[in-house]
Amino acid sequence: MKAMNKIRLAAAAMALGTMGAAHAAVGSLPGGPQVLGVYFQNPVTPIAKDERMLMDMMLWVCLCIGVVVFGAMFYSVFKFRKSKGAVAAHFHENTAVEITWTVIPVLIVIAILIPATRTVIAQENKTDAFMTVKATGAQWKWGYDYLAGPGKGISFWSTLTTPYSEIYQGKNLPNNFALSVDHELVVPVDKKIKIVTTSDDVIHGFYVPSFGIQLDAIPGFIRSTWFKAEKTGTYYGQCAQICGKYHSFMPIVIKVVTMPEYEQWTAQWKKAHPGSVAPADGAAPSST
């Protein structure tokens, strides 16, 4: 028994030690992944907040159903066990019980359905966007074309800055080593931004957890979603479709800035790229 306890203690110490080491090696990234983060990333858009609320609500509903169902089951098993002399009742059908166990679940489903449908409809409402950006997936980077709204004509590739060799060596890497890009997607705060996705080669996935959006980028197809970030800051996402050897190295970095900052950024970009024009539909972004 003592030996067993020692083994358990050693295992716990090792687990804690590993976690401690992970803490020391990697820190949380504001607007991105958190150390030991096992739940949603902090939501910063109305849709992400709705998704979080739905998840929480459904977890509680499931928990309550679990407690009631298993509670009734275990109560029956212990209270009416054979060793206590319980005798099974012999009856078939009970209309009241059958109506109850049909009506209650239907009511629960309706209670879940109403907010869930509201969220799905809101997710699909891409009208009245302040601006539109096309995100083109490519092995292994993202291309951004500002198609409509202020900044129209801006077009660039967004590529991971950390060299692959350094990642494989794994020494002294900053927290955002797999999530740092040369050119971030810059958008204004509190504005509805429509994102259309497509791909240059294979299927990629445009996924930004804190915005609550995930949309595949499929060659030959244009798909769309939207977000409205309510807080300035830098937010991180990643390609969410296994797209080849360096799938993990095509991060999405979105910088949400105030409107004056956004106008300043677009003016600066256009000044630095005097020949820039709005790209034709379906054209690949020009590299910068």
- Binding site residues, Cu ion, CB under 5 A: 204, 239, 243, 250
Nearer to Cu ion, 210 or 241 (CB): 241
Q: Least distance from C-beta 239 to Cu ion, angstroms?
A: 3
Rounded to whole angstroms, the Cα distance separating 74 from 69 reads 9
Task: Report the side by side order of strands in the sheet with 185-188.
Answer: 185-188, 251-257, 233-239, 204-208, 213-217
Nearer to Cu ion, 45 or 197 (CB): 197
Phi, psi of 239 (to 5 degrees): -60, 135
Nearer to Cu ion, 229 or 239 (CB): 239
Q: Least distance from C-beta 246 to Cu ion, angstroms?
A: 8
How many CB atoms within 10 Å of residue 98? 10
Nearer to Cu ion, 156 or 265 (CB): 156
Q: Least distance from C-beta 173 to Cu ion, angstroms?
A: 21
Q: Least distance from C-beta 181 to Cu ion, angstroms?
A: 14
Q: Least distance from C-beta 138 to Cu ion, angstroms?
A: 8
User: What angle separates helix 46-79 from helix 95-124, to the nearest 10 degrees?
Assistant: 160
Q: Least distance from C-beta 32 to Cu ion, angstroms?
A: 18
Per-residue H/E/C for the chain: CHHHHHHHHHHHHHHHHHHHHHHHHCCCCCCCCCCCCCCCCCCCCHHHHHHHHHHHHHHHHHHHHHHHHHHHHHHHHHHCCHHHCCCCCCCCCCHHHHHHHHHHHHHHHHHHHHHHHHHHHHHHCCCCCCEEEEEEEECCEEEEEEEECCCCCCEEEECECCCHHHHHHCCCCCCCCCCCECCCEEEECCCCEEEEEEECCCCEEEEEHHHCEEEEECECCCEEEEECCCCCEEEEEEECCCCCCCHHHCEEEEEEECHHHHHHHHHHHHHHCCCCCCCCCCCCCCCC
Nearer to Cu ion, 212 or 237 (CB): 237
Nearer to Cu ion, 141 or 194 (CB): 141
Q: Least distance from C-beta 162 to Cu ion, angstroms?
A: 17
Nearer to Cu ion, 156 or 269 (CB): 156
Nearer to Cu ion, 204 or 255 (CB): 204
Q: Least distance from C-beta 139 to Cu ion, angstroms?
A: 7
